[in-house]
Amino acid sequence: MGTEASTHALFFYESGSVGFSLCKALSGNRMRRFFLILFLFGHAALLPASAQSMDEAPLATTTTPPVPANTDKVIDLDTVVVTGSQPGPGLWKVSKGDHTLWILGTLSPLPRRMHWESAAVQKVIAGSQEILESPGVKVSTNQGMFRTLLLLPSLFKARKNPDGKSLEELLPAAQYARWQVLKKRYIGRDRGVEKWRPVFAALELYDKAIKGSGMTHSGIVGPAIDAAIKQGKPKITSTVVTIKLDSPKAEIKAFSGETLNDQDCFNRTLDRIDGDLGTMILRANAWAVGDVDTLRTLPYRNQFTACSAAFAEAGIVRKLGYDDLDKRMERTWIAAAEVALAKNTSTFATLPISQLLQPEGYLAKLQAKGYVVEAP
């Protein structure tokens, strides 16, 4: 199901019949994300507009959720990450008559050392006739395994600055000094990243900061849901939008030669690690203990809107035309949800919890169509 995608959207890479498993086998999460960033040009480009609007939400005064006694301190932070067995949030319920769509609100990152008590969700999956995958984008190159392997050197080259400059040469002195402090703390002595484009260096730092703070982007919710699906064998319905790339090598080459205006993305990533990491931990803790009220009050600010804007200015993006992906994903998911509600007594789905809490999100659209929506 891929329920813990870090960007509010589920991404797939597909190469002919080889599919997502090839990319996973080749390089793991980092390579999958890197490949998709090149072609989808940033995470927030795939977010519904309503989710993006939270990016600049003011910080709210919050209360730390209950924390079990067994905790691990987070680097340089007073906030601690919950551990042990945790229930997670309850399910949202969308219904029409006696037909129900049950939705689990997912979140990333989550506490790395928690165990999700998934029995209630697994029971719903066992009693459901259909599972809706999370909305997202599938990139198809229509190429086989060997030709895909040949793309890897070009992909690694594309993340470097086209003129060979280092971050120290590109960034203002004060910004580079901030980078050095955070890089030393979370990445270490890796010198190769100094030659990367600011946007890729920033995302690498962000991932390492998440890991260093006791959180993770994967391995908590997805495996439990996948196990329940394999046991019950319900129908799986994809709600992803497919983008076909006819000449991926040429598109990578074109991207490699372009200079990105990505310093704002870089700076906002540093800001988020410096000032918002504690809020991310609070949010992860709130999800873990099922505190939806606290999740409503915590801001969902992120740097990905700025990072997406950096990619959106590239000429290759305008050529490929990715302007309406968010609307296409919304239409695809809502259409699948309505079909499932019409024919099934029980359907299970996952959506990013930020989407579920949005006043103009997917659930609001279903409610406007006459469906009954109940929060946990």
Q: In whole numbers, what is the pLDDT of the chain averaged over residues? A: 74
- Given a cut of 60, whether residue 338 has pLDDT beyond it is yes
- Given a cut of 60, whether residue 86 has pLDDT beyond it is yes
Residues 182 and 205: beta-carbon distance below 8 Å: yes
Q: Measure the CA–CA gap between 91 and 256, rounded to whole angstroms.
A: 44
Determine which of 64-68, 89-93, 215-219, 329-333 has the lowest per-residue pLDDT on average. 64-68
3-state secondary structure of 5: coil
Q: Please tell me the predicted confidence (pLDDT) of residue 308.
A: 64
Q: Please tell me the predicted confidence (pLDDT) of residue 45.
A: 32
- Given a cut of 70, whether residue 114 has pLDDT beyond it is yes
Confidence of residue 306 (pLDDT cuts 50, 70, 90): low
Beta bridge partners of 104: 350
- Choose between 73 and 308: higher pLDDT: 308
Q: Please tell me the predicted confidence (pLDDT) of residue 9.
A: 32
Work out the percent of the chain whose per-residue pLDDT is above 90.
Answer: 31
164: its two tokens: 């060979």
Q: What does the pLDDT average to over 40-65?
A: 33
Q: What does the pLDDT average to over 280-287?
A: 89
Determine which of 101-110, 210-219, 263-272, 313-322 has the lowest per-residue pLDDT on average. 313-322
Q: Please tell me the predicted confidence (pLDDT) of residue 43.
A: 33
Most confident of the ranges 195-204, 246-255, 314-323: 195-204
Q: Please tell me the predicted confidence (pLDDT) of residue 322.
A: 60
Residues 207 and 272: beta-carbon distance below 8 Å: no
Tell me how long the chain is.
376
Confidence of residue 158 (pLDDT cuts 50, 70, 90): confident
Q: What does the pLDDT average to over 49-64?
A: 32
Q: Please tell me the predicted confidence (pLDDT) of residue 242.
A: 78
Q: Please tell me the predicted confidence (pLDDT) of residue 35.
A: 44
- Given a cut of 70, whether residue 72 has pLDDT beyond it is no
- Given a cut of 50, whether residue 123 has pLDDT beyond it is yes
Q: Please tell me the predicted confidence (pLDDT) of residue 164.
A: 86
3-state secondary structure of 335: helix
- Given a cut of 70, whether residue 76 has pLDDT beyond it is no
Query: For residue 105, which of 359, 352, 360 has the smallest C-alpha distance?
Result: 352
Q: Please tell me the predicted confidence (pLDDT) of residue 162.
A: 82
- Choose between 165 and 29: higher pLDDT: 165
- Given a cut of 60, whether residue 3 has pLDDT beyond it is no
Q: Please tell me the predicted confidence (pLDDT) of residue 36.
A: 46
Residues 81 and 72: beta-carbon distance below 8 Å: yes
Confidence of residue 346 (pLDDT cuts 50, 70, 90): very high
Helices (H), 9-60: 20-40, 49-52
Q: What does the pLDDT average to over 348-372?
A: 92
Query: For residue 364, which of 4, 92, 45 has the smallest C-alpha distance?
Result: 92
109: its two tokens: 């990152």
